[in-house]
Amino acid sequence: MTEEADGQRHKEKMAKKKASRDKLMAKKQGEKGLLIVHTGPGKGKSSAAFGMAIRCVGHGFKVGIVQFIKGAWDTAERRVLEGFPDLVTFKAMGEGFTWETQDRERDVAAAARAWEVAAQMLEDETIRMVILDEINVALRYDYLDLDRVLAAVAARPEGQHVVMTGRNALPPLIEAADLVTEMTLVKHPFRSGIKAQPGVEY
């Protein structure tokens, strides 16, 4: 087959694909506030959520962020997003991972304080997106009541998006969500003795 014929065949194939895609997209007209879950053992759950926060800021939308576990860390994303005080409310409420605190009562109390802040955000119709970072960990360890969390999410203002991150998302949360992404760990430098590095992990 000549290069010209190969090029023509590719053009025809892409034209059919575009027509099919355009027909599919024409049927997608609805909008709603989404419940989005980032889970799984792979890296990138919080990073993806913060990427969506930046998208909201770029559109001039308000964002509320509550960190349930990583609050003790001084992260670069927090520094950047706090640079938009009119649009971003960033509350780092956690005290570190449960193996660091080694105190369940303290962890439950920290999660309860974080949830109070999150619940207020979920009632605020001016906030376009609420990110509950690592809340899946708090739910997995029963630091928070899942039914209470799901009820508050369901009662949020129309059009408000909620992003919930963390490993081991519980089945009822996955069932309630509109969009679930599971990050799969294929390879990680930590296993080769490489520590967490600025600009990649934090």
Collapsing DSSP to helix, strand or coil, 94 comes out as coil
- The CA-CA-CA angle for residues 181, 153, 118, to 5°, reads 95
Q: Please tell me what DSSP assigns to residue 10.
A: H
The share of the chain scoring above pLDDT 90, in percent, equals 66
Contact 141, 98 (CB under 8 A): yes
Which residues, 6+ apart, have CB-to-CB distance to 185 below 8 Å?
Answer: 40, 41, 42, 43
Q: Which tokens hold the place of 48?
A: 């993806």
**pLDDT tens digits along 52-102:** 999 999 999 999 999 998 766 678 899 999 999 999 999 998 765 555 556
Which residue, among 134, 76, 78, 72, has the nearest Cα to 101 in the 3D structure? 72
Mean pLDDT of 103-132: 95
pTM comes to 0.86
**Which residue in the block uniquely carries the two structure tokens 């014929």?**
5
Between 10 and 161, the more confident residue is: 161
Predicted pLDDT at 25: 62
How distant, in Å, are the alpha carbons of 65, 99, 193 from that of 190? 27, 18, 5
Question: Using CA atoms, how far apart are residues 56 and 22, in angstroms rounded to an integer?
Answer: 26
Predicted pLDDT at 30: 73
What one-letter code names the amino acid at 43? K
**pLDDT tens digits along 18-61:** 777 766 667 657 789 999 999 999 999 999 999 999 999 999 99
**pLDDT tens digits along 152-196:** 999 999 999 999 999 999 999 999 999 999 999 999 888 888 998
Residue 78's H or E segment, with its range, is helix 76-81
**pLDDT tens digits along 135-152:** 999 999 999 999 999 999
Split at pLDDT 50, 70, 90, the class of 17 is: confident
